[in-house]
Amino acid sequence: MNLKARTIAAAIGTTLITWGIAAPAQASPPSQDGQVHIQGKIQCAPESKTYTVKVKPGTAIRSRPAKDGPQVDTVYYGNKVTSKFYCVNDGWVFVCISLCKVDENGIAGRWVFRGDIA
């Protein structure tokens, strides 16, 4: 394994450990678009749906698909958001609404809890 591949694998492993996810320190094999991507316990799939925020005053936009993920912004009641991916993490479903990246190298983006949108 070359240095770049080892560095990427180590970075992914460190990220997963930081997130509190028990997973091997290597990336999962690449998936084709339209398939489920798995990173540790998190399962993600592409989605293209428009939702409306249904909680007042609004809901948190998080930097990862987790209830304890850092909040980076807020989307307010009545606003529409369009999902690009959805991920299931410990039974919680999150949708990615921007800066989405779900592939063999990791999961990133801006995530909203699906229970707060309809």
Domain ranges of the chain: 27-116
Alpha carbons 114 and 117: distance in angstroms, whole number? 5
DSSP for residue 9: H
pLDDT at 30: 41
pLDDT at 21: 45
Q: Identify which of 91, 90, 100 has the alpha carbon closest to the alpha carbon of residue 63.
A: 100
How far, in Å, are 30, 47, 113 from residue 97 at the CA level?
22, 10, 11
pLDDT tens-digit profile, the chain (118 residues): 455 555 555 555 555 444 444 333 333 334 445 678 787 789 999 999 999 999 999 999 999 999 999 999 999 999 999 999 999 999 999 999 999 999 888 899 999 999 999 9
Q: If one looks up domain 27-116 in CATH, what number appears?
A: 2.30.30.40
- Using an 8 Å Cβ cutoff, are 85 and 46 in contact? yes
Single pTM value for the model: 0.69
pLDDT at 23: 37
Residue showing tokens 């990427």: 8
Q: Identify which of 52, 36, 12 has the alpha carbon closest to the alpha carbon of residue 88.
A: 36
92-95-98 Cα angle (round to 5)? 145
pLDDT tens-digit map of 39-72: 778 999 999 999 999 999 999 999 999 999 999 9
